[in-house]
Structure 1
Amino acid sequence: MNSFHRLSRWINMMGSILIILAGFRLFVLPVHGSQEFNYHYVKEPMNWTNAQAYCKSNFTDLVTIADEKELQEILNNLTRENVSDAEIWIGLKDINMNNGTWSNGETSTYRKWNAGEPNNRMLACGSMYYHRNEVNHNGTWNDCGCQNPQSFICYAVKRKFHAVNTSMSWLSALEHCNSNYNGMATIRNEREEWHLLKSINETNIQEKVWIGMRSSRVFGFWFWMNDDPVTYENWVNDSSVTLQDNRHCAILDLNQTEVGQAGLCRTSPICLLQRVH
């Protein structure tokens, strides 16, 4: 065996090892950046409508609380900011002896009503009690008149997406995204997918967009180009099918969606970009 063939064999072997390690890393690394939002407490009292307008103008919206973990994160943030005991507007609206809806359109069903709430027979908005010195800082919710002047909490998404309505190949899309933004979009969880879809709905794009996922042609596993671990997948079809050369890149298919949901498949010339904040 001449030296050229030995070198070629060594390069192929090392390439295979690197691919195996990359695939293994997808499953063992912790999710980085799992906290999707920044929270901003505004002390100046406003009614609910004005508070929402302020949040939309300066951040993303009044805060939506999806689960107990996020509620505790918000309460801990208030404690770090030395907030005094307060009743604080959150993004819950249209409450009329029921659970109401979130102002940004999210469909999260998590609720943390105080005992006996909701009990307002008039159309009401949601507020949260914060008790600085109480265990877990309370964090229960109340339905109260939307005209009450109260402090409030806004949120801002840490990762923003930008869809480019220009047809191009996946490789051209990758180069364009890397050159002009922070790479092609990744989707780390269902809630982030919802925000991504919401941003696309504000454009004229109606069918499919490239995302920054592709598969290993050798081993078949899928990976994000920016090294995010693959912690969330929502395939329309079986992603384990035999791959062809033109089917190793992923798209978000907007026509396969239900409310807040989307599927992934593997063809399209439209690029999806993201900014990371």
Structure 2
Amino acid sequence: MNSQSGLSGWINMMGRILIILAGFRLFVLAVHGSQEFNYYYVNETMNWTNAQAYCWSNFTDLVTIADDKELNEILDNLTRENYSDAEIWIGLKDINMTNGTWSNGETFTYRDWNKGEPSNNFVSCGTMYYHRNETNHNGTWNDCGCRNNKTFICYEVKRKFHAVNTNMSWFSALEHCNSNYNGMATIRSEREEWHLLKYLNGTNIREKVWIGMRRSRVFGFWFWMNDDPVIYQNWLNDSSKNIQDDQNCATLDQNQTKWVKQDCAGPAPFVCYSGE
């Protein structure tokens, strides 16, 4: 085979692959997200491992369901989009009796097993039942052999974090984030904080990092610079209530997984965000 025909064959093969991938993506149907996450129902069957790999490549991971509120939100949106009944892969793996782990590493605390489940004699993976015409759409879970082919739900963290390992004052860090991204990172929930800490663990930053919160010097309350409502706080020893000092900016301490106030002029690395 000469080089020209070989190149032509390679181009044709890549063209066919791209056409297949483009067609496959048409099966990805968005399910509206929460404040922190978007959900995506992939209406194509795969085994659990391939579904996980697909979610890693295109979104964040297979969906983790943390509580009743998140479960009901996913079910309601599946119904709103008029999807058919299905048994759907979720991010639950390593199921042995009632134990298991989430694909993304979150602690496995919430459970919604179907009656009599889990019942598999072997280590298995988790599915969720969806019944469009039932009042609560079911949503219960089953343990299933991981090699079976099922449709699945991925999730995506709406905001992307961007750590900057350069020591700056809080004000300089804020200016850098505003100029290059959407702003300095905010933390709207415990799960969003978990994802931020997981992200920082993959960097070479180990000290406290600036986040986009500061305190009003006049009134003493704390606020996010991008006007996000303050609906979650995680202060070390509730130190934020002491306003008799000049520590008016907030850092996230990775080692203690808590927020610590500091003098805004002090140098520290920081985290920006992009996205919603």
Q: TM-score when scaled to structure 2?
A: 0.83
**Other-structure match for 2:259:** 263
- Larger strand proportion of the pair: 2
* Counterpart contact for 2:84–2:132, Cα < 8 Å: yes
TM-aligned CA deviation for residue 108 of structure 1: 4.4
Match of 1:196 in 2: 196
CA contact (8 A) 2:41 2:154 kept: yes
Query: In structure 2, what is the equivalent of residue 141 of structure 1?
Result: 141
Q: Which amino acid aligns with 2:252?
A: L
Count of matched residue pairs? 240
Task: For 2:226 and 2:34, locate their aligned partners in 1 and report how far apart those are by CA, in whole Å.
Answer: 15
In structure 2, give the amino acid aligned to 1:271. F
Q: State the one-letter code of the partner of 2:262.
A: R
Structure 2 distance, partners of 1:219, 1:213, is 15
CA 1:227–1:95 in 2, change beyond 3 Å: closer, same or farther? same
Contact 2:100 2:108 in 1 (8 A): no
Specify the SS of the correspondent of 1:136: coil
**Superposition pairs of residues 50-69 of structure 1, within 5 angstroms:** 50-69=50-69
Per the alignment, in what secondary structure is the counterpart of residue 41 of structure 1?
strand
Aligned to 2:248: 248
Measured after TM superposition, the shift of residue 83 of structure 1 is: 1.6
* Per-residue CA distance 1:54-93 (angstroms, 9 max, x = gap): 0010001000001111111111221222221111000000
* CA deviation profile, 1:68-121 (whole Å, cap 9, x unmatched): 111111112212222211110000000011231110011141111000011111
1:70 maps to a residue whose letter is E
Partner Cα separation in structure 1 for residue 273 and residue 181 of structure 2: 7
Contact persistence 1:208–1:254 (CA under 8 A)? yes
2:79 partner letter: T
List aligned pairs for 1:1-277, cutoff 5 A: 35-237=35-237, 238-245=239-246, 247-257=247-257, 262-266=258-262, 268-277=267-276
Q: Is the 8 A contact 1:217 1:243 kept in 2?
A: no
What is the alpha-carbon distance in structure 2 between the residues aligned to residue 99 and residue 36 of structure 1? 27
Aligned-pair Cα RMSD in Å: 1.5
Which is further off, 95-104 or 47-56? 95-104
Classify the secondary structure of the residue corresponding to 2:166: strand
* AA of the residue aligned to 2:218: V
**Runs of 4+ in structure 1 over 6 Å off:** none
- Contact 2:89 2:128 (C-alpha < 8 Å) held by counterparts: yes
- Measure the CA separation in 2 of the matches of 1:62 and 1:163: 24
Partners of 1:95 and 1:81 lie apart in 2 by 30
What percent of counterpart residues are identical?
75
Q: CA deviation at 1:276?
A: 1.9
Please tell me whether the aligned partners of residues 253 and 265 of structure 1 are also in contact (alpha carbons under 8 angstroms). Answer: no
Output the TM-score relative to the length of structure 1. 0.83
Deviation of 1:36 after TM superposition, in Å, equals 1.5
Q: Secondary structure at the match of 1:255?
A: coil
| Matching residue of 1:9 | none
8 A Cα contact 1:214 1:248, kept in partner: yes
